[in-house]
Amino acid sequence: MKKYEMSDEEKKFLAGYDLTKYDRPSVAADVVVFSVMKDDECEDARRLQEKKLKILLIRRGGFPYKGSWAMPGGFCRKGEDVIDSARRELCEETGIDDAYVKLVGVYGEPGRDPRGWVISSTYMALMNARACRLKAGDDAQDARWFTVELTDVSTEATEVSGTGEENVKNEVEASHKVQNGKKYRLVLKNADSDIKLTAVLRRTDMSSCGRSSDSYYIEECEGLAFDHARIITEAVLGLREDVRRDMELAFDLLPERFTLTELQNVYEQIWDMELTTPNFRRKIAEYVEETDAYQAGERYRPAKLFTRRKDARK
Amino acid sequence: MKKYEMSDEEKKFLAGYDLTKYDRPSVAADVVVFSVMKDDECEDARRLQEKKLKILLIRRGGFPYKGSWAMPGGFCRKGEDVIDSARRELCEETGIDDAYVKLVGVYGEPGRDPRGWVISSTYMALMNARACRLKAGDDAQDARWFTVELTDVSTEATEVSGTGEENVKNEVEASHKVQNGKKYRLVLKNADSDIKLTAVLRRTDMSSCGRSSDSYYIEECEGLAFDHARIITEAVLGLREDVRRDMELAFDLLPERFTLTELQNVYEQIWDMELTTPNFRRKIAEYVEETDAYQAGERYRPAKLFTRRKDARK
DNA sequence: GGAATAGTGTCTTTCAGACATTATACC
DNA sequence: GGTATAATGTCTGAAAGACACTATTCC
């Protein structure tokens, strides 16, 4: 940034100025790390294994939320922009320093961290799983990849109770739901260890304190630290939107060369829906270019490898 | 948020824990306030006056950047979420407490504030100009609306200089531009006072420190405080994108009832392009509903007033 | 009737979805 | 030839863009 030139009067003012006399928060940079990879353990010979969308979580070795799982992150250092703190934390955990990194949100709700006033600036990162080398797992460091399932359960029937009165209440709640809001179930699973983390999120009613972009509050939560269930939910929804706007983001989740089937699978994982192959290929054609190479080691017809097209016309 | 339950061991740990022994930044919440309104002074009788997209800026009465123009904002208070700080500042300046508010970005670049380590969490707000009541203008408080012009000048010819050597340099820069980036000119004007603020922004090269969402650095700047030229640029680009994704955002810039011509004008202002009326009306039909009322006080055929349709199917 | 704005009808092109079909590998 | 995957061709309907046209108001 261009240096700002000060008058002597201003220099004098600043010399006597002390920001630190006011209350200040601690600021953390946290990262929702996305990648796409196989569940390595079930390398069965039956069929081509689908790669799954996963996020990286770390088991907390100390208080607070000791034993719970949390996103990688840490406090910002003076002299470092916040996004660079996120990149530093990301690199420390994964060894990757050139991932795509983008802001997800700022989380500063009072009480979100029992240690005190901590504001989290949260980023999402997209990386190629093959390039990632997780930090060795010592005692304080248990980092694992979890599959992500985020499903809309807004319209699911409320559990029907015995009494008529409760039924009426459920109907009122149901109609409220239709008006006000989405409800999501988040399930994160690590296949190696059978660890399963779950949460239920509801979109906050926006009529009270002004409208704002979607934001969710935690109704139930199992095994996730702090408000990370909420943050992960918003990150996954944000990723879906971002990729819809810019298809090219998906390339950051894959190696340099890939088959079109692999690429299609990435979009299917992100959007949690099936795509029809011919339509997908027509759409993606402008973003990719052929190489001379073919995929090796598969059982049936080998697929051509593609790379990202640098000069994609937009 | 649900209360987290602690063990005695954890309570003991937290009692001895002091976040404040680490370096902490000051955190500010700033707001890019958008509205759509006429230039009141040129109420000429020739033709219907177009309303323009404007942002609200405040002339700084003290150091640093005394006399420059800045977004409304202020430091976050303990016990207050960051977006609520933004809403509070917004309400103090405009009297509006129910605007649409959304995060734009987090700005923490070292040196961005000469007073010290200050991280700005910046929001955009959309409001109906008619509901807005600006804080009375005392000495320290000069708040004005500025028209926004943000134009892409990436492909504009570099000024040709005399010597051949400089020409070569210009060509290299030009080819670099094609690869790497957009360049924007931001012009903010207040018609009452003939104040004109200008800046030139260039998208930062993303090949060095990893890819991330668009971010701009200030090449030239006249009259805008801190890094606000950059932030405003990113807010305007963000607004364009957001409205493209969700057409309904435009309603937050208008009163309860409006004509379709007014509504079309809002989109034309935001996107800085002309829309063809029949196509626009076909597209917008699902979001609006007729009222029985007609616009009063215009010179020719009166236009029907519409309201936002609450149950718009998405 | 003229001028200015409000509002509609329709043709064409483009693009997304559905789905049938062919191609190539290994067994 | 059987099977599983890779890759392509084509029909259809919806939506986007272009643009000519009608309607209503004041003068």
- The tens digit of pLDDT for each residue in B105-134 reads 999 999 999 999 999 999 999 999 999 988
Which pLDDT belongs to residue B189? Answer: 96
Note whether A243 and A249 are within 8 A (CB).
yes
- Model confidence band, residue A17 (pLDDT cutoffs 50, 70, 90): confident
Res A310: pLDDT: 82
Q: Do B1 and A218 touch (CB under 8 A)?
A: yes
Which residues in chain A belong to E strands, given as ranges?
Answer: 26-37, 52-59, 69-70, 73-75, 100-107, 118-126, 142-152, 183-190, 195-203, 216-222, 257-258, 288-294, 304-308
Please determine, for residue B62, whether its predicted confidence score (pLDDT) is greater than 70: yes
Distance from CA of A53 to the nearest CA of B (A): 20
The answer to whether B303 CB sits below 7 Å from nucleic acid chain C is yes
Q: Which pLDDT belongs to residue B177?
A: 44
Is B109–A63 a contact, with Cβ atoms under 8 angstroms apart?
Answer: no
- Least trusted range by pLDDT, from A36-50, A156-170, B234-248: A156-170
pLDDT value for B94: 94
A24/B22 CB distance under 8 A: no
Lowest mean pLDDT among A247-251, B114-118, B190-194: B190-194
User: Which of B3, B13, B24, B221 is most worth mutating to test chain A (most A CB atoms within 10 A of its CB)?
Assistant: B24
Instruction: Find the Å distance, CA of residue A300 to C1' of nucleotide D3.
Output: 9
Q: What is the pLDDT of residue A15?
A: 83
Please give the average per-residue pLDDT across B92-109, as a whole number.
Answer: 96
Query: Tell me, what's the pLDDT at A291?
Result: 95
Contact B14 A245 (CB under 8 A): no
HSE, side-chain direction, 13 A CA sphere, residue A17: 15
| Cβ-based neighbour number of residue A253 at 10 Å | 27
pLDDT (0 to 100) of residue B49: 65
Nucleotide nearest A262, from its CA to each C1': D6
Instruction: Check residue B42 and give its pLDDT.
Output: 42
- Residue A126 (CA) to nucleotide D7 (C1'), in angstroms, measures 29
Least confident of A215-224, B52-61, B161-170, B247-256: B161-170
Q: How would you classify residue B302: left for phi > 0, otherwise alpha for psi between -120 and 50, otherwise beta? A: beta
pLDDT tens per residue, range A51-103: 999 999 999 998 899 999 999 999 999 999 999 999 999 999 999 999 999 99
Contact: A210, B101; criterion CB under 8 Å: yes
Report the gap between the CA of A184 and the closest CA in chain B (Å): 16
- Type of residue numbered B153: V
Average pLDDT over residues B224-251: 97
* DSSP strand pairing (B26-37 vs B73-75): antiparallel
Whose CA is nearest the C1' atom of nucleotide C25? Answer: A301
Q: What CA–CA distances, in Å, run from A174 to A179, A181, A234, B22, B142?
A: 9, 10, 23, 47, 49
- Report, as an integer, the average pLDDT of A268-287: 96
- In Å, what is the CA distance from B2 to each residue of A232, B14, B15, B135? 17, 19, 21, 38
What pLDDT, on the 0 to 100 scale, is given for residue B251?
A: 97
- Would you say residue A114 has pLDDT above 70? yes
Binary contact (B64, A14; C-beta < 8 A): yes
Tokens read off for B51? 């309303």
Is the pLDDT at A1 greater than 90, yes or no? no
Tokens 């018609």 sit at which residue?
B191
**Which nucleotides in chain C lie less than 7 Å from some protein C-beta?**
3-10, 16-20, 23-26
pLDDT of residue B176: 44
Q: Which whole number is the average pLDDT over A154-160? A: 65
- Decide: A154 and A176 in contact? Cβ < 8 Å: no
Would the CB atoms of B210 and A100 count as touching at under 8 Å? yes
What DSSP state is assigned to residue B20?
A: G
Which of A59-68, B68-77, B221-230 comes out lowest in average pLDDT? A59-68
Q: Long-range contacts for A178-183 (Cβ within 8 Å, ≥24 apart)?
A: A180/A205, A180/A207, A181/A154, A181/A205, A182/A152, A182/A154, A182/A214, A183/A152, A183/A153, A183/A154, A183/A156, A183/A219
Measured between beta carbons, which residues in chain A are less than 8 angstroms from residue B17? 63, 115-116
Number of Cβ pairs closer than 8 Å across A and B?
Answer: 184
pLDDT confidence of residue B175? 47
Give the closest of B82, B109, B210 to A81, CB-based. Answer: B109
Lowest mean pLDDT among A201-215, B48-62, B149-163, B252-266: B149-163
To the nearest whole number, what is the mean pLDDT of chain A? 86
| Nearest Cβ partner for A110 among B6, B27, B79 | B79
Distance CA A195, CA B265 (A): 54
Beta strand segments in chain B, E: 26-37, 52-59, 69-70, 73-75, 100-107, 118-126, 142-152, 183-190, 195-203, 216-222, 288-294, 304-308
Least confident range from A36-50, A138-152, A250-264, B15-29: namely: A36-50
Q: What is the pLDDT of residue A45?
A: 36
Among B4, B89, B254, the strongest candidate for a mutation testing the A interface, having the largest count of A CBs within 10 A, is B4
User: In this structure, is the CB of residue B257 within 7 Å of any atom belonging to strand C?
Assistant: no
Rounded CA gap, B215 and B209, in Å?
A: 13
Cβ of B19 within 8 Å of Cβ of A4? The answer is no
Q: What is the pLDDT of residue A3?
A: 59
Residue A299 CA, distance from chain mean position: 33
CB B179 under 7 Å to nucleic chain D: no
Using DSSP, state whether A250 is helix, strand or coil: helix
Asked if residue A182 keeps its beta carbon closer than 7 A to nucleic acid strand D, the reply is: no
